[in-house]
Amino acid sequence: KIKTEDQVPGKEINSFLSLAEERAMQQAEKIDGMLKAGENLPVLAGVPIGIKDVLTMQGAPSTAGSKILKNYHPPYDATAVRKLEAAGAVLLGKLNCDEFAMGGSNENSAYGPVRNPRALDRVPGGSSGGSAAAVAAGFCVASLGTDTGGSVRQPAAFCGVTGLLPTYGRISRYGLIAFASSLDRVGPVTRSVRDTATMLSVLSGPDPMDATASQTPVEDYVAATKAPVAGLKIGIPAEYFGEGLEPEIRAAVERTLDQLKAAGCTTHPISLAHTKYAVPTYYVLATAEASSNLSRFDGVRFGHRVDHPKNLSELYKESREEGFGPEVKRRILLGTYSLSSGYYDAYYRKAQQVRTLLARDFLAAFAEVDAIVTPITPTPPWKLGEKTEDPLSMYLADIYTVAASLAGISGISVPVGETAEHLPIGVQVLAGHFQEAKLLRVAQAIE
């Protein structure tokens, strides 16, 4: 049991925002009792797991990395949280993240940035930076993150761990504090593809509390990781290997492709022609949805309320002014603008149309190939503070992750080595909707 703040191991990494000691101890004792009674143990029995702070969990606050939810203690568990505990996991507490999952470096958290355990002067990626850092540092065996535009895959790549983007609808979003509902997905961060498969088996399936959670049958993902990959066709999209990709990352992806060929896969050049529109499309749609979703934080129903407002309008304005950080405000402004009647057709509707084109690119590709291999990020993790003054350069770093998010397909980030400076490199594998079995099979072959 941790008694004081200072005893928290690895405190400088700042990955945990709160610990759910009581709940974790109860669960550990329960599992211990089962063990002593000689009962059959569930698949995650005793496995310590951390939860991104945008997911609700009773017994701990859910701040979503925001000041506006500082004292929010949710009275219910997210479905993903409930399922992990039912499978025997010991839930340690809540993990730091960018405010409302908006960011790619974890520097937008109201509770301070997370440091990359592999290089303390570097960002861990984001928005699930705490989830990736805690697994990389060994504070927990696995964690839950969320991926709206790359937020599980990119921090996994930056911290040298494995991160899954399940198909939209594969894992229930009930209890996930919404950023952009048509894009938000819960995904596990782990230390191996095999662990990812185990987590996915536990987390997947329909949920009466989330109408978008799919009825598509859950497969045996662990068995899938043991199947050979010989004969699988791997697509290499030209658009993901253009300008701005650091040579060391390109070389790592090329080594991965050689590895797959040696295992009997064939590689095929493909084109995902609309890729160059993915970042602008994502930032129009994600901010539009965010501006709508975040209207519930009004100082009345949830979270922070300003002291002594003069009237109702001031109560709304001042509570939001004090509660939200600069990146969240920027996005609410952008989203409100593109949804406004004068600009809706030019931005929001247009972006929805381009989203369909991006999805069609992938559908056409998956008619020809089984999986696609690409980089996750154009560069290795950057230094803390390096991009904070330039939000646009931060947005552009999402170039390889957001198209898969817009298309709803499955993806995974697998660590494949490091740069000369010992910074981790991840490779992305993408597969079609509900093709997680095939995705994990390919991922296992490159691990």
Distance of CA 59 to the CA centre of its chain: 23
In the complex, the smallest distance separating the C-beta of residue 140 from ligand GLN, rounded to whole angstroms, is: 20
In the complex, the smallest distance separating the C-beta of residue 330 from ligand GLN, rounded to whole angstroms, is: 11
CA-only gyration radius of the chain, Å: 21
Q: Tell me the C-alpha distance between 407 and 359, whole Å.
A: 4
In the complex, the smallest distance separating the C-beta of residue 166 from ligand GLN, rounded to whole angstroms, is: 13
18 is known as an active-site residue: no
Residue 243: CB atoms within 10 A of its CB come to: 5
Cβ closest to ligand GLN, residue 131 vs residue 148? 148
151, 291, 319, 338: the catalytic one is: 151
131 in the Ramachandran plot: left (φ > 0), alpha (ψ -120 to 50) or beta? alpha
Contacts of residue 366, Cβ cutoff 8 Å, sequence gap at least 6: 409, 431, 432, 435
Q: Tell me the C-alpha distance between 278 and 254, whole Å.
A: 24
Report which of 333, 259, 260 is spatially closest to residue 294, judged by C-alpha positions. 333
Determine whether 217 is exposed, middle or buried from the number of CB atoms within 10 Å of its CB (0-12, 13-18, 19+).
Answer: exposed
151 is known as an active-site residue: yes
Q: Which residues of 27-52 are buried (b: 16+ CB within 10 A; e: fewer)?
A: beeebeebeeeeeeebebbbbbbbbb
User: 388-392, long-range: CB within 8 Å, 24+ apart, which pairs?
Assistant: 388/105, 388/107, 391/327, 391/330
- Written as one letter, the residue type at 69 is L
271 is known as an active-site residue: no
315 in the Ramachandran plot: left (φ > 0), alpha (ψ -120 to 50) or beta? alpha
Q: Tell me the C-alpha distance between 378 and 331, whole Å.
A: 24
In the complex, the smallest distance separating the C-beta of residue 98 from ligand GLN, rounded to whole angstroms, is: 7
Q: Tell me the C-alpha distance between 13 and 174, whole Å.
A: 29
Determine whether 383 is exposed, middle or buried from the number of CB atoms within 10 Å of its CB (0-12, 13-18, 19+).
Answer: exposed
Cβ closest to ligand GLN, residue 151 vs residue 275? 151
In the complex, the smallest distance separating the C-beta of residue 284 from ligand GLN, rounded to whole angstroms, is: 12
In the complex, the smallest distance separating the C-beta of residue 394 from ligand GLN, rounded to whole angstroms, is: 7
In the complex, the smallest distance separating the C-beta of residue 156 from ligand GLN, rounded to whole angstroms, is: 12
Report which of 223, 244, 238, 182 is spatially closest to residue 399, judged by C-alpha positions. 244
Cβ closest to ligand GLN, residue 235 vs residue 380? 380
Backbone dihedral angles phi then psi of residue 91, each to the nearest 5 degrees: -90, 115
In the complex, the smallest distance separating the C-beta of residue 68 from ligand GLN, rounded to whole angstroms, is: 17
Cβ closest to ligand GLN, residue 55 vs residue 87? 55
Cβ closest to ligand GLN, residue 131 vs residue 201? 131
Cβ closest to ligand GLN, residue 357 vs residue 396? 396
Cβ closest to ligand GLN, residue 176 vs residue 202? 176
Applying CB under 6 A, the residues found at the interface with ligand GLN are: 101-104, 127, 147-151, 179, 286, 398
15, 18, 52, 204: the catalytic one is: 52
Q: Tell me the C-alpha distance between 320 and 314, whole Å.
A: 10
Per the DSSP assignment, residues forming a β-bridge with 415 are 426
Cβ closest to ligand GLN, residue 102 vs residue 156? 102
62, 127, 201, 204: the catalytic one is: 127
Question: Which residues are known catalytic residues?
Answer: 52, 127, 151
